[in-house]
Amino acid sequence: MAVALPMESNPETMSKYLHYLGVSDKWRMVDVIGLEGEALSWVPRPVLAVILLFPMSDAYEKHRATQEIEFEKKKEQTPIDIFHLKQVMSDICGTVALVHSIANNTHKIDLKEDGLLQKYLDNAKGLDSAAKGALLENTTALFNVYKEIVASETTGGGHEEEPVSNHFVTFVHKDGKLYELDGRKTMPIGHGPSTPETLLEDAAKVCREFIERESGNICFNVVALVPAE
């Protein structure tokens, strides 16, 4: 079983992690400094994925339970090629979010054939969400890379980890819709129509809804997967 460090919502470290896993350096993570208007226009395009860090609260847990019941009742079909994995361990949501970001954009992102992430994706083919999660949990090398990166960047004082009460989710575009990929949910959650061009704005709208549910909590951060140049 892997032993993981909780991930920081730090785009520089996240980018380095992805590159070590075999993602082309033509892509990187950047901060999204605001969720409306001009702040969104500063984010490089195209945006392939948006990752939200938010506090896991009673409001989140209540909404998650209600949301999953509603989606079960609707029997809403999700695209068969959308990659969703269930989170098994409590401290790996950052890695899960990054895997969701890349795995749903392999048609646009080059991965090293012998890279750790490509090997994981090859082994995950044909598995359901729970089995993908179990496979990730046992892919120790993926988590060791992040620990090595953190150790190399730490100079005294130790690594300041995100509190484990925080959680990452990913938003991607697939087949004309915006999907939320949360390792703590049993299925991808559809949030209505979207396009590759409007992914950031559509995801920002859902992120604002997360913030509104938390009544004053400011522990939120948003990053996006974008071109390096």
Rounded (5°) CA angle 155-157-161: 95
Q: Which of 19, 63, 84, 93 is an active site residue?
A: 93
Q: How many CB atoms lie within 10 A of CB 223?
A: 25
Q: What is the DSSP letter of 36?
A: S
Is 167 among the catalytic positions?
yes
* Joined tokens for residue 43: 């984010």
- Rounded CA-CA distance 115/87 in Å is 22
Cis peptide bond upstream of 46, omega within 30? yes
C-alpha separations of 205 from 50, 92, 134, 186, 201 in Å? 12, 25, 32, 22, 6
| Edge-to-edge strand list for the sheet holding 221-227 | 27-31, 221-227, 49-55, 166-174, 177-181, 189-193
Q: Which of 84, 100, 167, 173 is an active site residue?
A: 167
3-class secondary structure, 23: strand
Contact residues for 176 (Cβ-Cβ < 8 A; gap 6+): 193, 194, 195
Is 93 among the catalytic positions?
yes
Span between the terminal Cα atoms of the chain, in Å: 38
- Rounded CA-CA distance 184/94 in Å is 12
Q: Which residues are catalytic?
A: 93, 167
